[in-house]
Amino acid sequence: MRITADTAALASCLDIIEKALPLRTTIPIIGNIFLEATEDNLSFSTTNLEMFINCSIPNKNDQSGKILLPPKIIDIVRYFPTEEIKIDINWDNYRLDISGGSSHFNLYGADYHDYPVFTLPDHTENESLVVEQNVFKKNMRKVVFAASNEETRPAFNGILFQFNNQHLILTASDTYRLVVKEISNDSWTINNKKCLVPAKAMRELLRILGDQNQNMSLSVTDDLLLFEFGQVQLSARLLDEKYPDVSGVIPKEYKSRITIDRKVLEDTISRASLLAEGKNQAVNLLLKEQKLEVKVSSQQGSMEDFVPVEHEGENLELYVNSRFILDFLKMVDDNRIIIDFHGDGGPLVFRLPKDEGYLYLVLPIKKMN
């Protein structure tokens, strides 16, 4: 069988499905790429058993077949010198002859029958909604950074999706910080559903999604969250963990509130973080009248600076992880932000003046001696 494809289109497709290839696995066969050729399409699939990605491109030949491709083909196609690539498959030994111009490679594929081929459910049979790619990407970026990477906290490795008619609420936390983001759309109809989605899958989805305003569909089954856009399908297997109710940790009233220039605060905290040490990367914040003082002292040295603010409420002093603040400040593009304080030992709650459906809560560090 011969496959003929546009090199750039094939390279783009393989770059997408590469994101679901397992880095390490005890099941060697899933380290391959499943190719299904039909008369119209070349469909490439990968899975790490937690996430499945499928991407299709046109088939310039009308021949059909299925085979497992070695992952090395990704790099070969990425650096291939011609605009068109030909792949001839010998079914007797699954040898791949890859050619174009003066370049010629030989690789060996494998039989696909033991591969865990995954058939995506038809999203029309499940509750679904449609959202623009750039809208979902922008909002998910503001959420996913707060999810935990520690395997000892499996529930916090996920992002909680809560569907209720026209509303989707996204929640992420690593127990030291918390993000809640509400998105609304009058056309959405999924009602009273919750699912816990691996944050790893959402990070990979963000790397695939474009910034254009093209639509993507999102649908939910009993054990999967499905995304479909263009010629790409991605599914994430839901985490079977109970996510705690976080509503009780969000204070209803603040004791102090400031409005501050986001970029000035980012630059100031960045300078302070240069001398912050230890796991907590702590900086000292002192709220006095109409300015926020930022201090740090470590074995490397010390630093003091301040940022002018619009301030209402009490003066206070606390320590906070500088990385937690910078993660947020670098993720949003608003010119000004609001920070609510809840006493010396209470959390900081960051809000966006133009987005009432978003909040980012950070727990302070206990006062340092």
pLDDT higher than threshold 60 for residue 124: no
Q: Which residue has the tokens 């070349």?
A: 42
Q: What does the DSSP 8-state code read for residue 26?
A: S
* Domain 123-237 top-level CATH class: alpha beta
Distance separating alpha carbons of residues 20 and 46, to the nearest angstrom: 6
Q: What is the pLDDT of residues 4-52, one digit of tens each?
A: 999 999 999 999 999 999 988 899 999 999 999 998 899 999 999 999 9
C-alpha–C-alpha distance, residues 328 and 202, integer Å: 17
The mean pLDDT value of the chain amounts to 93
Does the structure show a pLDDT above 80 at 304? yes
Tell me the average pLDDT across 57-65.
87
CA atoms of 30 and 20, how far apart (whole Å): 10
Evaluate if residue 369 carries a pLDDT over 60. Answer: no
- Name, in order, each residue with C-beta under 8 angstroms of 146's C-beta and a sequence gap of 6 or more: 172, 173, 174, 177, 178, 179, 327, 360
Q: Which two tokens stand for residue 21?
A: 């290839």
Starting at the edge strand that comes first in sequence, how are the strands of the sheet with 355-362 ordered?
193-198, 158-164, 167-173, 177-184, 355-362, 348-352, 336-341, 256-261, 310-313
Which of 362, 363, 364, 359 is CA-nearest to residue 171? 359
- 3-class state of residue 215 by DSSP: strand
Predicted confidence (pLDDT) per residue in 269-281, tens digit: 999 999 998 889 9
DSSP structure string for 286-342: EEETTEEEEEEEETTEEEEEEEE-EEEE--EEEEEEHHHHHHHHTT---SEEEEEE-
Torsion of CA 37, 38, 43, 49, to 10 degrees: -80
- Domain with residues 251-362, CATH architecture: Roll (3.10)
Would the CATH topology of 2-108 be identical to that of 123-237? yes
* pTM of the predicted structure, to 2 decimals: 0.91
CA distance 125 to 129: 12
Return the pLDDT at 276.
Answer: 94
pLDDT recorded at residue 176:
96
- The domain segmentation of the chain, as residue ranges, is 2-108, 123-237, 251-362
Which CATH number does 2-108 carry?
A: 3.10.150.10
CA distance 345 to 323: 19
